[in-house]
Chains A and B, each alone.
Chain A
Amino acid sequence: AQSVTQLDSHVSVSEGTPVLLRCNYSSSYSPSLFWYVQHPNKGLQLLLKYTSAATLVKGINGFEAEFKKSETSFHLTKPSAHMSDAAEYFCVVSDPKIYNQGGKLIFGQGTELSVKP
């Protein structure tokens, strides 16, 4: 079965410092992996996705993530945090086995990112 674990429920950084949001996954197959961001009372916005191409994936707003199969990780990073990055971040895996049945997404618990001035 597929699962996603976000290792930190809350991360706090200072503006201008690097961001690291950790995600580990469990999958029996070659997964598709996503990071989404959610601002308060808003829907989800896709930051980036990995779909078995390059292992280092660049996304929007300066975010990137590296797929490491040996570590079953897909950590999200950004070199320099901005106040507007404060939000909830979700690591998500798509189960290819049931893709033909609808392509369910399996969500991590979320990591709340706070950015201090």
Chain B
Amino acid sequence: GAVVSQHPSWVICKSGTSVKIECRSLDFQATTMFWYRQFPKQSLMLMATSNEGSKATYEQGVEKDKFLINHASLTLSTLTVTSAHPEDSSFYICSARPGTSGRNYNEQFFGPGTRLTVL
């Protein structure tokens, strides 16, 4: 149980285009989802926290208009990188937290990541 998927697993796009990444909790409902960015050989950097049905909370230094996050349902959150540029190239990882009663309610389950390359 507690499986999180991401789609696509990798994407290559031209500079100036927008890219949408989906994060789905497959076998549980996630009240909270998190989006991370990871540069090569570095740790994960939290970008934003999203709760279903409300606006995402962005970390300091993360551009809200650049990285649009939507958490429309308890099983789906999307990250849209708008007007992508080469410096946006990175590995993007989502996680989902059940947040309700149950054995793993406060644990985050991670997706497999999405490799974005902007040419």
9-residue interface stretch from B62-70, B77-85, B106-114: B106-114
- Which of A44, A104, A108 has the most C-beta atoms of chain B within 10 angstroms of its own C-beta? A44
Residues 100-119 of B contacting A (Cβ, < 8 Å)? 106-113, 115
Instruction: Report yes or no: A49 in contact with B107, Cβ–Cβ below 8 A.
Output: yes
Instruction: Report yes or no: B43 in contact with A102, Cβ–Cβ below 8 A.
Output: no
Instruction: Report yes or no: B43 in contact with A107, Cβ–Cβ below 8 A.
Output: yes
Contact residues on B (Cβ < 8 Å of other chain), bracket: 20 to 34
CB-CB under 8 A from A32, the residues of chain B are 106
- Which of B4, B43, B95, B113 has the most C-beta atoms of chain A within 10 angstroms of its own C-beta? B43
Instruction: Report yes or no: A41 in contact with B32, Cβ–Cβ below 8 A.
Output: no
CB-CB under 8 A from A109, the residues of chain B are 42-43
Closest CB in chain B relative to A9 CB, distance in Å: 9
Q: A residues touching B (Cβ–Cβ < 8 Å)?
A: 32, 36, 41-46, 49, 90, 94, 99, 102-105, 107-110, 112
> What are 19 sample pairs from A and B whose C-beta atoms fall under 8 A apart?
A32-B106, A42-B113, A43-B111, A43-B113, A44-B93, A44-B110, A90-B43, A99-B106, A102-B34, A103-B99, A103-B106, A103-B108, A104-B34, A104-B46, A105-B46, A105-B108, A108-B43, A110-B43, A112-B41
9 closest A-B pairs by CB? A43-B112, A44-B110, A102-B49, A43-B110, A107-B43, A43-B113, A107-B44, A110-B43, A109-B43
